[in-house]
Amino acid sequence: MNHFDKINYIYFLGIGGIGMSALARYFNLLGKKVYGYDLTPSPLTQSLEKEGIEIVYNDDISLIPMNCMAQKEKTMVVFTPAVPQDNKIFGYFAGNRYFLIKRARVLGMISDKYNLIAVSGTHGKTTTSSVIANILRCNSADSFAFLGGISKNFDSNLMMPKNKEAFENSETLLVAEADEFDRSFLWLTPRVSVITYVDADHLDIYKDRADLIATFNSFAQKGKQDGAVIVNKKIEELIDTKGIKKIIYSDDDKTADYYAENVRLENGFFVIDAVTPKGVIKDVKIGARGRVNIENTMACIAATQLSGIDDLIIKKGVETFMGVKRRMDFHVQTSDVIYIDDYAHHPRELSATINSVRELFPGKKITGIFQPHLYTRTRDFATDFAKSLDLLDEVILMDIYPAREKPIVGVDSKLIAGLMKNKNTFLINQKEQIIEKIVQEKPQVLLTLGAGSIDRLIQPLKQVLGQDESVKTENI
């Protein structure tokens, strides 16, 4: 019997989160009645509302739907650690002993029914899982995808099978992003796992990098014994799979099981020959932009080849991938200006994005607008952030986006700026002032970088750069 057969109503606390919204869409498409709460409206919550999901933005018990009030035994409440414990709606459900369950566990319960490909790592999860999803979409067999970003190929963070038979078939492939935050990925039991990187991060959750690595090893060892764990060559020695087959991938290391050779740049896209244990897949054009995606592509090829996908389908899926919103996301590309938005919020991600853009547009002046994400991350990596941002020609630093955190004394954007060598660094937080600065500077290449609310700059910037006449600056 399905875990959720007796559930008619599902309430999501924090429904606007990228992982939560994918689950909300899943249950909505299954015919469950889905409700949700979030702190503020967003393009994502607006999309959910258009799909028939009822959402409120006030922490008010009186707004809890009557269905949930009257039929407690048929109601499931899904939450994430990002929801504060003093949230009144959460308090009502907890105090009245509703069936409360974490988002990560729900994903684990869904994926247990299928042949799971789980993509983990401190960087590259979303692009890698999204490329795999596109490969699966090109395959004749139906499959699922739960993603940590909006794939441009299907304008969603969820891919569902078209045929009912796939829902009942345990061999149906499901790709999911395996999130290390709050150790969420330990609820998953993959047939095939991918581990991209294990850089120190989420040090509000993990004691140190050693604790993080130990938890990634626990994730690797949770895989099915007849499956495989696909590991980046750079972290090969850090991952112990306890007897589960370990497969190594790399962008260029010929000692790996999967690697790229004959790498060339053609019209802004990398083209490679992908070397695999089954032979060479020639002339693969990588739809995901930037050099870092050579490495991610080899992980995708390994994961799908091991899952029984034909090489021609794999090549098609890699080449027709259109990208993920907020991952090397090109918004303007003219002879005068290039504008790219990226979710990079860790020093390694910033460096990878900036270096990729530098390689694509050599000799051009690169201006970056960066919004740090979380006080703890800024505190822990201030020096590394400074080094990464020094790779830019000009930097605009916004205030820290706090997300779930309270301020920490002495931790702000000035901390990063004070450690930087780049003298063309400006502390500006007001969006109107940022727009004015960009209009004055007329950058050759512009990047917006960060995981917070910086995406609200995208449309105003497109407008002043001449690509979107529908949005007025005063509306930001």
Amino acid 3: pLDDT = 75
* Helix runs in 267-333, H state only: 292-306, 311-319
- Report pLDDT digits (tens) over 100-136: 999 999 999 999 999 999 999 988 899 999 999 999 9
Q: What is the pLDDT of residue 1?
A: 46
The whole-angstrom separation of Cα 276 and Cα 249 is: 9
Q: Is the pLDDT of residue 401 over 70?
A: yes
Given a contact cutoff of 8 angstroms between Cβ atoms, the answer to whether 394 and 367 are in contact is: yes
Domains within the chain, CATH numbers bracketed: 9-101 (3.40.50.720), 112-319 (3.40.1190.10), 329-475 (3.90.190.20)
Chain centroid to CA 409: how far? Answer: 29
pLDDT of residue 180: 86
What pLDDT, on a 0 to 100 scale, did the predictor assign at position 203?
A: 60
Amino acid in position 198: V
pLDDT value of position 268: 85
> Residue 368's beta-bridge partner residues?
395, 447
What average pLDDT does this structure show over 46-69?
Answer: 95
Give CA–CA dist 349/292, Å, rounded.
Answer: 10
Kindly tell me if the per-residue pLDDT of 208 is higher than 90: no
Q: Residue 199: its pLDDT value, please?
A: 77
Helix locations, 320-473, DSSP H: 347-360, 375-389, 413-419, 431-441, 458-464
Residue whose C-alpha is closest to residue 451's, from 404, 390, 384: 404
CA distance 40 to 372: 20
208 vs 394, which has greater pLDDT? 394
Mean pLDDT, residues 283-306 taken together: 96
Which tokens in the block code for residue 134? 């596109």
Predicted confidence band of residue 475 (pLDDT cuts 50, 70, 90): very low
Instruction: Please report which confidence band the pLDDT of residue 473 belongs to, taking 50, 70 and 90 as the band edges.
Output: very low
How high is the pLDDT of residue 204? 64
- The amino acid occupying position 89 is I
How much of the chain exceeds pLDDT 70, in percent? Answer: 96
pLDDT of residue 472: 38
Q: What are phi and psi of 58, to 5 degrees?
A: -120, 135
- Please check the confidence at residue 318 and state whether its pLDDT lies above 80: yes
How many CB atoms within 10 Å of residue 144? 24
Give ∠ CA 353-218-327 in degrees, rounded to 5: 20
Q: What pTM was computed for the model? A: 0.85
- Write down the pLDDT at residue 200: 63
pLDDT tens-digit map of 140-191: 889 999 999 999 999 999 999 989 899 999 999 999 999 888 888 999 999 9
pLDDT, tens digit, 9 for 90 and up, residues 234-252: 999 999 999 899 999 999 9
- Which residues, in sequence order, are CB contacts of 428 under 8 Å at separation 6+? 396, 397, 398, 434, 437
On whether the CB atoms of residues 112 and 283 are closer than 8 A, the answer is: no
Q: What is the pLDDT of residues 217-236, one digit of tens each?
A: 999 999 999 999 999 999 99
Closest C-alpha among 343, 340, 325 to residue 152? 325
